[in-house]
């Protein structure tokens, strides 16, 4: 059954790469707009395991962009509903949920993961998250606002940290955001996560900036 789900993926990238995905684990920090998009696309790509971290409950104002949730989910924990929806797509997907705030993670024993998807909604939490990144592992950062957003890959010792790139940045929450920005940036994040898993990241020491209004996309060099 599972093989049939991924038939078209295999047709494109082959058995070997599909197996790399099946053997991989991604930790998704934040299961809001970006987190839902990244989790769903990774599931449909054939990722073997997801670790979902979020301690929020679903609110009505989330439904414009958080694609795993609907009206019947209001008031329920995001990680529990996300797990149900993702499991329904692929019964063989392994999912571990952590109903915690990112600030609590340093006190927990985290399960093994190959990389982190930074889908958080504020920079203070992102600076805490990147401290959890072991050497040789990767973090794909995504940020969205209005009709623009950015993505980069962070690797300890090989790139600047998020705190170096965005020092002292504080953007008041909640930010204004439309669904097409979230889905576009979330999709591009998955592409870079898969690039990393296949050993060929394209946004190492580069930041991709997308502006939907005029369809412009830039890659900016970041100095290590």
Partner 1 sequence: MGINEIEVEAASVSIYELILKAEKLISKKFLDQLIDEKRQILQGTLILINGRNIVHLDKINSIVQDGDEICIFPPGGGG
Nearer to partner 1, 111 or 167 (CB): 167
Minimum distance of partner 1 from residue 68's CB (angstroms): 14
Residues 6+ positions from 48 with CB-CB distance below 8 Å? 21, 22, 23, 24, 25, 93, 94
Minimum distance of partner 1 from residue 158's CB (angstroms): 14
What tokens were used for 74?
Answer: 């209001």
Nearer to partner 1, 109 or 223 (CB): 223
Distance CA 221, CA 163 (A): 17
Nearer to partner 1, 10 or 169 (CB): 169
CB-based contact 18:10 (threshold 8 Å): yes
Nearer to partner 1, 180 or 216 (CB): 216
Distance CA 131, CA 137 (A): 12
Q: Which of 30, 3, 32, 28 is nearest to 15 (CA)?
A: 3
Residue position matching structure tokens 């190492």:
204
Minimum distance of partner 1 from residue 16's CB (angstroms): 32
What tokens were used for 202?
Answer: 């394209």
Minimum distance of partner 1 from residue 37's CB (angstroms): 10
Binding residues for partner 1, per CB under 8 A? 30, 32-35, 118-123, 142-146, 148-150, 164-171, 173-175, 177, 181, 185, 205, 209, 214, 216, 218, 220-223
Nearer to partner 1, 108 or 175 (CB): 175
Minimum distance of partner 1 from residue 192's CB (angstroms): 15
């Amino acid at each position: 059954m599972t093989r049939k789900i991924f038939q078209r993926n295999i047709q494109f990238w082959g058995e070997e790469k599909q197996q790399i995905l099946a053997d991989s684990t991604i930790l998704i920090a934040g299961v809001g707009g970006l987190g839902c998009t990244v989790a769903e696309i990774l599931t449909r790509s054939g990722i073997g395991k997801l670790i979902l971290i979020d301690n929020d409950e679903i609110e009505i104002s989330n439904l414009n962009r958080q694609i795993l949730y609907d009206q019947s989910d209001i008031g329920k924990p995001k990680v529990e509903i996300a797990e149900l929806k993702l499991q329904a797509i692929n019964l063989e997907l392994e999912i571990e949920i952590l109903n915690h705030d990112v600030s609590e993670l340093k006190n927990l024993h985290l399960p093994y993961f190959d990389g982190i998807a930074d889908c958080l909604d504020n920079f203070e939490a992102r600076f805490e998250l990147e401290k959890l990144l072991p050497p040789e592992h990767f973090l794909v950062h995504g940020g969205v606002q209005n009709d623009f957003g950015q993505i980069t890959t962070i690797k300890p010792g090989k790139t600047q940290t998020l705190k170096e790139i965005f020092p002292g940045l504080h953007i008041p929450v909640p930010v204004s955001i439309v669904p097409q920005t979230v889905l576009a940036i979330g999709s591009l994040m998955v592409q870079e996560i898969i690039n990393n898993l296949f050993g060929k990241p394209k946004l190492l020491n580069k930041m991709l900036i997308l502006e939907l209004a005029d369809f412009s996309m830039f890659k900016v060099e970041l100095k290590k």
